A = this chain, B = another copy of it.
Amino acid sequence: VRITKEKASENKQRILEAAARLFRERGFDGIGVADLMREAGFSHGGFYNHFSSKEELIAAASALAFEELDADTQGRGIEAILGRYMSQDHRDDLPRSCPAAALGGDAGRQSDQTQTVFKEGVLSWLSRIEGALEQNSSLSERARRDTAINLFAKAVGAVVISRSVSSDSQLSDEILQVCLAGSLNEAGIRPDE
């Protein structure tokens, strides 16, 4: 049942979007090709018309996930970026989570292609944070980069450990709040300014 070229390309996008969501939710090994295709609305056999392997899909879906975040963050101030990252919303919304927090620990065990995607995702985050810092402070370029790295590391770590203690919701919330406050301070933002 051959279909239109545009339709086929839309379908590939549907698969990619389902994969980007499901990998973050269940982990790279937590969802199989057949289940994934079913969630995207297809039978599993057609998968290899679009991708040469699950490995390739993992790289492409990770790239898409980073791009979505890129778009959501573009042009926002440092306060908004950090507030969103260390929010209960972000912690609880795994399908839309930052891949660095949801899958960063597994990234090193994936293909070179996927590792490159994660590296570029991290670099992209760092330059967006650096850009957001430019608006609020008069730091040197070096200090701005150092601050961006510190802020991003703390944000990722806060979400990772906040999620890994989620059975204790009070502790989980406390971690996010305390790290957000510490981060805003570290970014040179005074409360009530």
| Chain A residues within CB distance 8 Å of chain B | 26-27, 29-30, 94, 100-109, 112, 115-116, 118-119, 122-123, 145-147, 149-150, 152-158, 160-161, 163-168, 171, 174-175, 178-179, 181-182, 186
Asked, given contacts A119-B168, A164-B119, A178-B146, whether A105 binds B108 with beta carbons under 8 Å apart, the answer is no
Q: Which residue of B lies closest to A163 (CB)?
A: B108
Tallying the copies of this chain within the complex gives: 2
Q: Are A179 and B150 in contact (CB under 8 A)?
A: yes
Asked, given contacts A103-B105, A104-B160, A105-B104, whether A178 binds B166 with beta carbons under 8 Å apart, the answer is no
Q: Are B153 and A107 in contact (CB under 8 A)?
A: no
Q: Which residue of B lies closest to A118 (CB)?
A: B164
- Across the interface, which residues of B come within 8 angstroms of A158, CB to CB? 153, 157
* 3 nearest A-B residue pairs (beta carbon): A157-B157, A156-B157, A153-B157
Q: Are B157 and A178 in contact (CB under 8 A)?
A: no
Q: Are B165 and A178 in contact (CB under 8 A)?
A: no
Asked, given contacts A116-B167, A166-B115, whether A160 binds B27 with beta carbons under 8 Å apart, the answer is no
Q: Which of A26, A163, A164 has the most CB of B within 10 A?
A: A164
Q: Are B26 and A109 in contact (CB under 8 A)?
A: yes
Distance to closest chain B CB from A137 (angstroms): 15
Besides A105-B160, A152-B157, 18 more A-B contacts (Cβ < 8 Å) are A26-B109, A29-B29, A102-B105, A108-B164, A115-B164, A115-B167, A123-B171, A149-B174, A150-B154, A150-B178, A153-B154, A153-B157, A153-B175, A153-B179, A156-B160, A156-B161, A182-B186, A186-B186
- Across the interface, which residues of B come within 8 angstroms of A145, CB to CB? 178
Asked, given contacts A115-B166, A168-B119, A186-B186, whether A178 binds B161 with beta carbons under 8 Å apart, the answer is no
- Alpha-carbon distance between A167 and B110 when the two chains are bound, in angstroms: 12
Q: Are B182 and A119 in contact (CB under 8 A)?
A: no
